[in-house]
Structure 1
């Protein structure tokens, strides 16, 4: 009818399944058909971090968004939180889903395993997107780290401490990260509640903080990788607040094909804070997959 506003595209149909992978069961959300895009979240998130991204990409791609090891509904494993094991988790998930290759997108704690996956198996990673994280001790992040790493890195790294202190106060703690990570704007209430639920309980917290306790091992794995290989996969680095272009500076000396962007007025949790800015960058960068 004349004057009727165009309808918005319907929400994608998302399937949730538990898939045996590398000795654990991974809870994974999938949507759409086409070339695979694997999305790796960070702390304190689950696959729901990617809600807007899934909606934006699933019309052209098969979007695969797992809960990483120990997070959400994925097995709370006793170990395996180093970047190398997480990279193997990602590769085995693609195997289980019948995908020989994927574009891989990582943010925060999902960035180091995404990077190592591309370094170790470049034939399986068509394109790589890395966001708002640092890669071990690679040069380039000195300005960012001039005042020391963020305060919570040390707090989370002491075995047993943070989960003992925070059990019973998970909601307040997660809310701080969600508010700070969106520059005060917050995230939609259903997603916030899902995140809080996923990180409630001593064992859930233990798994989350195990990522920080495994950072030294991950840093060694990253250093070993760059000493023996270059990053040949076409890569895009995306920064916001607070990491900015520190990740780009780390990647530039070790990459053959690097594009970089910093999103203005955007907090650390880019997929929820500024999906309007992120999605055009992703769709443009991934478009090469549609022409092969």
Structure 2
């Protein structure tokens, strides 16, 4: 039996270009969307989601290409998995559920989607939170020396097909498991059944192809979209929170302040997989954001 978030209902919702998204929905109140990252699924938010569902309508989708959501073929310009496309998925998904304004929190790849949603749909996003990332345009110039080694996967999976797909497929659980192991500080943060669920979901040929397409977009199309917004001086104007772990080799705050006019920042103890490694502090930070 597939793992689920307790007391959440599940729906399969098709967005505009025919992509079906697996979505967990729970609670009542103002809507909050929680977006997962690599190499995970919506289950990464299970602790935070159940806590917020006490007084919010919480929506946790699998991003396109991940989990039980569809995995469409990429195009030459890497637009199918661009964060702009995924942000459009998000807006269409919430409109289908009857929500035309909502808050969004994203971790890792999901944070890129949340960031793009805030810039592309400022009248739709009421609050935005970004966990342990900086925007695509800003991260690449910083990937030098040991930082580049630590984030090698950004380069590796962005290589043209089929090199990364072939190598990952040969040892998918070893490769994907490396990140689950390295990105947590609490050994109990990801119980075995969830670890197996993540590895199984991300290690099929279709998933590996889709995830690499996501990273290719992060090295091409997503940068172009960010650069266009910077040239146009577009910023996030809704209440915004950026959170990161103490292990960053540089200070992300000045970068985020160039993008957000109403920003609060917090350093959260734990590893990169913060929604599981430190759900209590993440929940508190999101509640503070939603109160603004």
Give the alignment's TM-score, normalised by structure 2: 0.88
Pairing 1:269–2:273 present: yes
Q: Which runs of 5+ in 1 are unaligned?
A: 1-10
- Which secondary structure does the structure 1 equivalent of 2:236 belong to? coil
Larger radius of gyration: 1
Which is worse superposed, 119-128 or 169-178? 169-178
User: What is aligned with 1:209?
Assistant: 212
Quick one: structure 1 residues 124 and 207, their matched pair in 2 at CA, closer, same or farther if it must change by over 3 Å?
Answer: same
Which is worse superposed, 272-281 or 148-157? 148-157
Equivalent pair of 1:136/1:223 in contact (CA under 8 Å): no
User: Of the candidates 23, 39, 46, which is equivalent to residue 44 of structure 1?
Assistant: 39
- Which secondary structure does the structure 1 equivalent of 2:176 belong to? helix
- How many residues matched? 276
User: Of the candidates 229, 235, 252, which is equivalent to residue 230 of structure 1?
Assistant: 235
User: What is aligned with 1:196?
Assistant: 199
TM-aligned CA deviation for residue 147 of structure 1: 4.1
User: What is aligned with 1:76?
Assistant: 71
User: What is aligned with 1:14?
Assistant: 8
Q: What aligned pairs does 1:1-292 form with structure 2 within 5 A after superposition?
A: 12-23=6-17, 24-79=19-74, 80-138=80-138, 145=144, 147=146, 149=148, 150-158=151-159, 159-183=161-185, 185=187, 186-215=189-218, 216-228=220-232, 229-240=234-245, 242-243=247-248, 246-264=251-269, 266-288=270-292
TM-aligned CA deviation for residue 262 of structure 1: 0.9
Equivalent pair of 2:52/2:58 in contact (CA under 8 Å): yes
Quick one: structure 1 residues 33 and 245, their matched pair in 2 at CA, closer, same or farther if it must change by over 3 Å?
Answer: farther
Name the CA distance, whole Å, in 1 between partners of 2:134 and 2:198: 23
Quick one: structure 1 residues 41 and 13, their matched pair in 2 at CA, closer, same or farther if it must change by over 3 Å?
Answer: same
Which is worse superposed, 93-102 or 186-195? 186-195
Name the CA distance, whole Å, in 2 between partners of 1:144 and 1:285: 30
TM-aligned CA deviation for residue 227 of structure 1: 2.5
Q: Which runs of 5+ in 2 are unaligned?
A: 75-79
Equivalent pair of 2:48/2:280 in contact (CA under 8 Å): no
TM-aligned CA deviation for residue 246 of structure 1: 4.2
RMSD: 2.0
Quick one: structure 1 residues 245 and 235, their matched pair in 2 at CA, closer, same or farther if it must change by over 3 Å?
Answer: farther
- Which secondary structure does the structure 2 equivalent of 1:214 belong to? helix
Give the alignment's TM-score, normalised by structure 1: 0.88
Quick one: structure 1 residues 244 and 190, their matched pair in 2 at CA, closer, same or farther if it must change by over 3 Å?
Answer: farther
TM-aligned CA deviation for residue 137 of structure 1: 2.1
Equivalent pair of 2:134/2:256 in contact (CA under 8 Å): no
Name the CA distance, whole Å, in 2 between partners of 1:287 and 1:237: 15
TM-aligned CA deviation for residue 220 of structure 1: 0.9
Equivalent pair of 1:12/1:54 in contact (CA under 8 Å): no
User: What is aligned with 2:77?
Assistant: none
Equivalent pair of 1:134/1:246 in contact (CA under 8 Å): no
Quick one: structure 1 residues 143 and 136, their matched pair in 2 at CA, closer, same or farther if it must change by over 3 Å?
Answer: closer
Structure 1 outlier segments of 4+, above 6 Å: none
Equivalent pair of 1:39/1:65 in contact (CA under 8 Å): yes
